[in-house]
Each structure stands twice: as structure tokens, then as C-alpha cells.
Structure 1
Amino acid sequence: MPDPEATAAVLVASLTYYPILDVLIGHTPGDLKPERFLEAWLDSSVAALKLR
């Protein structure tokens, strides 16, 4: 069964994780540029929320 609150928490946490790692350790997850990260995040978010 879908859990929108948990899904929202995961999506928001992943957005905060990206810049925190960049500041703390000097690189991002997978060393992705912001544009690639955002595109993948949007694709994953839409799929998770079943908006397609």
C-alpha cells in the first residue's frame, strides 16, 4: 500500500543529502552535477508518486 508521508520524507531527505555531502566532503553522491541529479530525482519522484 502506498505511504505518501513516507515517500515525501524520502524525497525531501534525498534533496537535502546532496548539498550536505557536497559541503561536508567536497563531492556529491556519484559525483553528479546538479542538473543530472535533479533530472534523476524528478524521474524517480514522479514514478514513486505514480503521476505518470
Structure 2
Amino acid sequence: MTKEEIQYYYNLQSEAMIARDISKMQNGGEDPFNYQADVDKFTKKLEELERNV
């Protein structure tokens, strides 16, 4: 795995976290679009990539 791949997934994870936080602010603390699932998916992928470096 390359440094670029790790950066790519890190950026996706960051964007998903921002989307989740904005969604929660707009929806009274709820996450109706389940952005947390995206955050979890990208976090898991990052952990896999970092283990294989």
C-alpha cells in the first residue's frame, strides 16, 4: 500500500466525519443518513492499510 492510498482514505474518512457532524447539527443530534457507517468503513480500511505498510 502506498502513502497516496492511505492519504486518499484518510481524506474520505475526514469528509465523512464532517458530513456526519453537519448532519447531526442540522437534525438535532441525529444521523438520519447514517454517515457514521461511512466513517467506520473508511476507518477500518485505514487500519488495514496501516497494518500492511
Residue ranges of structure 1 left out of the alignment (5+ in a row): none
Structure 2 Cα separation of the partners of residues 17 and 9 of structure 1 = 12
May I ask how many residue pairs the two structures share in their alignment?
Answer: 42
How does the TM-score come out when normalised to structure 2? 0.52
Partner of 2:7: 5
Residue ranges of structure 2 left out of the alignment (5+ in a row): none
Supply the RMSD in Å over aligned alpha carbons.
Answer: 3.0
Q: Which runs of 4+ in 1 moved over 4 A?
A: none
1:6-25 equivalent positions in 2, closer than 5 A: 6-24=8-26
